[in-house]
């Protein structure tokens, strides 16, 4: 028997997702990557795919809601899905794009946590600390990931225990839908850390460099030329802090060596929202999400450009992926920019 509870049986983002999947049922290929039980309720980690069915076509994945409190990330992905369905009615360019690129959406990776309004999943595990690898240098106390217990935040799970179902499912989606292709991108939307907005890429476990620094640098440069006033800090996660068990580090390290898989995390800085409306500090939701409607609208509007840009970059990868001596040059510039003397 389900425990007696006066809590609602769903939450706004989940209802919105189901509404979008309903409208898009003939357009999207819809699956559940895993089912999550929480206090007698069951939620699915839905995935929705659209576009080319060629397994060699470039692909992009949009992820949100890995942390249950960071609703704005899910809302961003859901907005993009809804807009995409609307555009499909008239946008011939989009229709042609989708003939040669694959899009996959996983807007609520941690539905149990979002329902319960917790950062962690229903087992108290922080999914973004749940991969098995350890950082190779000092991490921030607790926040870098801890194994003391689920009663403290940033819990990684027991050492040697299998990964949580949601983490396994996410890695599975990446392995089968993205990293198996010659070229793919993942965008994972978070919120909470920082005064400004950041785009982070691996690694979080080390200050060492990822293999695809030249490609990341090309992507950053293209984005800056397309959106000169974007305002993101585009850098390796390790420039901010190291952490244990980052899922994107793990997914990146597991990607086949002949593929180019570029995972990036969008971290929407929330400190300015709080500064403008300090009462937000007293609500758990308010520390991670804009509370005032006009600010939410502005956030959702501003970042839609990034999602669109990455889709185009995936679609056009043949045109811009650096090769040969140009790649060597970009690699050098990238090292100079992110790891050179005078930066860090």
Residues lying near Zn ion in the complex (CB under 5 A) are found at 67, 70, 190
Kindly state the smallest distance separating residue 67's Cβ from Zn ion, in Å. Answer: 4
Q: Which is nearer to Zn ion, 51 or 73 (CB)?
A: 73
Kindly state the smallest distance separating residue 73's Cβ from Zn ion, in Å. Answer: 7
Instruction: List, in order, residues 6 or more apart from 243 with CB less than 8 Å away.
Output: 128, 129, 135, 139, 140, 143, 144, 145, 204, 205, 237
User: Which H/E stretch holds residue 264?
Assistant: strand 260-268
Kindly state the smallest distance separating residue 267's Cβ from Zn ion, in Å. Answer: 7
- 3-state DSSP assignment of residue 249: helix
Kindly state the smallest distance separating residue 106's Cβ from Zn ion, in Å. Answer: 14
Burial 323-332 (b: 16+ CB within 10 A, else e): eeeeeeebbe
Burial 68-107 (b: 16+ CB within 10 A, else e): bbbbbbbbbbbbbbbebeeeeeeeeeeeebbeebbbbbbb
Q: Which is nearer to Zn ion, 40 or 140 (CB)?
A: 140
Kindly state the smallest distance separating residue 269's Cβ from Zn ion, in Å. Answer: 12
Rounded to a whole number, what is the largest CA-CA distance in the chain?
66
**Nearest-10 crossing angle of helices 293-315, 213-226:** 120
Q: Which is nearer to Zn ion, 102 or 190 (CB)?
A: 190
Burial of 64 by CB count in 10 Å (0-12 exposed, 13-18 middle, 19+ buried)?
buried
Q: Which is nearer to Zn ion, 24 or 64 (CB)?
A: 64
Beta bridge partners of 38: 41
Q: Answer whether the bond into residue 203 is a cis peptide, omega within 30°.
A: yes
Q: How far apart are CA 249 and CA 253, in angstroms?
A: 6
How many H-runs (helices) and E-runs (strands) does the chain carry? 11, 8
Answer yes or no: are the C-beta atoms of 290 and 299 closer than 8 Å: yes
Q: Which is nearer to Zn ion, 238 or 331 (CB)?
A: 238
Structure-block tokens of residue 236: 């390796």
Kindly state the smallest distance separating residue 37's Cβ from Zn ion, in Å. Answer: 22
Answer yes or no: are the C-beta atoms of 63 and 77 closer than 8 Å: yes
Q: Which is nearer to Zn ion, 190 or 220 (CB)?
A: 190
Q: Which is nearer to Zn ion, 52 or 240 (CB)?
A: 240
Kindly state the smallest distance separating residue 82's Cβ from Zn ion, in Å. Answer: 22
How far is C-alpha 48 from the chain's CA centre?
Answer: 15
Q: Which is nearer to Zn ion, 67 or 212 (CB)?
A: 67
How far is C-alpha 278 from the chain's CA centre?
Answer: 27
Kindly state the smallest distance separating residue 72's Cβ from Zn ion, in Å. Answer: 10
Strands (DSSP E) along 28-135, which ranges?
A: 29-38, 41-51, 59-64, 102-106
Q: Which is nearer to Zn ion, 63 or 183 (CB)?
A: 63
Kindly state the smallest distance separating residue 69's Cβ from Zn ion, in Å. Answer: 8
């Amino acid at each position: 028997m389900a425990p007696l509870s006066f809590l609602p049986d769903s939450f706004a983002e989940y209802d919105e997702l189901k509404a979008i999947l309903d409208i898009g049922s003939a357009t999207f290929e819809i699956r559940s990557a895993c089912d999550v039980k929480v206090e007698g309720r069951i939620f699915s980690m839905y995935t929705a795919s659209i576009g080319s069915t060629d397994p060699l076509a470039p692909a992009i994945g949009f992820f949100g809601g890995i942390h249950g409190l960071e609703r704005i990330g899910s809302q961003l992905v859901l907005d993009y899905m809804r807009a995409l369905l609307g555009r499909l009615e008239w946008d011939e360019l989009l229709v042609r794009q989708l003939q040669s690129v694959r899009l996959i959406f996983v807007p609520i990776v941690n539905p149990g946590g979002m329902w319960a309004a917790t950062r962690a999943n229903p087992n108290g595990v922080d999914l973004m600390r749940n991969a098995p690898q350890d950082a190779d240098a000092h991490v921030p106390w607790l926040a870098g990931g801890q194994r003391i217990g689920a009663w403290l935040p940033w819990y990684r799970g027991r050492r040697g225990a299998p990964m949580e179902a949601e983490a396994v499912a996410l890695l599975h989606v990446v392995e089968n839908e993205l990293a198996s292709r010659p070229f793919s991108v993942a965008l994972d939307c978070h919120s909470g850390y920082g005064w400004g907005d950041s785009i982070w890429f691996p690694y979080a476990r080390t200050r060492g460099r990822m293999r695809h620094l030249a490609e990341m640098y090309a992507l950053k440069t293209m984005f800056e030329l397309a959106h000169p006033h974007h305002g993101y800090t585009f850098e390796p996660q390790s420039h901010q802090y190291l952490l244990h068990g980052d899922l994107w580090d793990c997914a990146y390290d597991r990607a086949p060596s002949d593929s180019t898989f570029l995972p990036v995390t969008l971290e929407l800085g929330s400190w300015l929202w709080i500064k403008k409306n300090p009462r937000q500090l007293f609500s758990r939701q308010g520390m991670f999400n804009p509370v005032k409607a006009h600010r939410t609208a502005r956030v959702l509007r501003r970042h839609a450009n990034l999602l669109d840009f990455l889709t185009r970059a995936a679609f056009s990868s043949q045109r811009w992926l650096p090769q040969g001596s140009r790649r060597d040059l970009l690699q050098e510039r990238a090292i100079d920019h992110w790891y050179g003397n005078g930066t860090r």
